[in-house]
Amino acid sequence: MKKFKKKYAIAVLVIALVIIFPLLFLFGRNDKRESNGILWNGKQTIETNYEQSSIAIPGFTKISFEANSTNQKINLYNPDTNTCSMDFSILMPDGSVLWSEENIQPGYGLYDIQLNKELEKGTYEECTFTIRCYKDGVKLNGCNIALTLYVY
């Protein structure tokens, strides 16, 4: 009888551990972690001996164009808060340049552009909108934005 009670107690203990241990691991672990940071209250002012600036990058993920025409309407600009010029390009999925324009100064933009080729009606996914930034002839940062063209 003692052997049966001992085996029964061990079995109950093993089952309890098998159930409780994963629950403690899954639910108790994240709640007890402390943050390495502090509560964010916004950007602080830091004195530096150099000019700190950032570049405002205009971006969008969709553009609509008229089918069978190289002349297109667009609203694209270099924000006047920037201190650099920008080059813009639209690349097709195969990497070919559909359109590009260089040296757009801060506060200037484009309303009318001319594509390198006419597009047929349809949706062109996986295109790329590229922005390259320059100041005094020095290349700064830039970006590539995934773009879908809707041609109507």
pLDDT score recorded for residue 15 = 81
For residue 112, the number of C-alpha atoms closer than 13 Å in the C-beta half-sphere is 2
For 95: left if phi > 0, alpha if psi spans -120 to 50, otherwise beta; the answer is left
Host H or E run for residue 11: helix 2-28
Per-residue pLDDT, 122 = 97
φ and ψ of 134, to 5 deg: -140, 145
The rounded distance, in Å, linking the Cα atoms of 53 and 40 is 21
Domain boundaries, the chain: 2-32, 62-151
In whole angstroms, give the CA distance from residue 10 to residue 14: 6
- Mean pLDDT score, 73-80: 93
Q: Looking at the domain 62-151, which fold is it?
A: Immunoglobulin-like (2.60.40)
Percent of the chain exceeding pLDDT 70 equals 78
pLDDT band at 23 (very low <50, low <70, confident <90, very high): low
Range from 9-18, 69-78, 140-149 carrying the lowest mean pLDDT: 9-18
Which helix (H) or strand (E) covers residue 3, if one does? Answer: helix 2-28
Q: What is the mean pLDDT of residues 20-39?
A: 62
What is the value of pTM for the model shown? 0.66
pLDDT given at position 58: 84
Q: Is 116 helix (H, G, I), strand (E, B) or coil?
A: coil
- 88-146 pLDDT, tens digit per residue, is 999 999 999 999 999 999 999 999 999 999 999 999 999 999 999 999 989 999 999 99
- Distances, alpha carbon 77 to alpha carbons 45, 59, 108, 109, in Å: 29, 10, 6, 4
pLDDT above 90 (res 17): no
Residue written as token pair 């000019």:
51
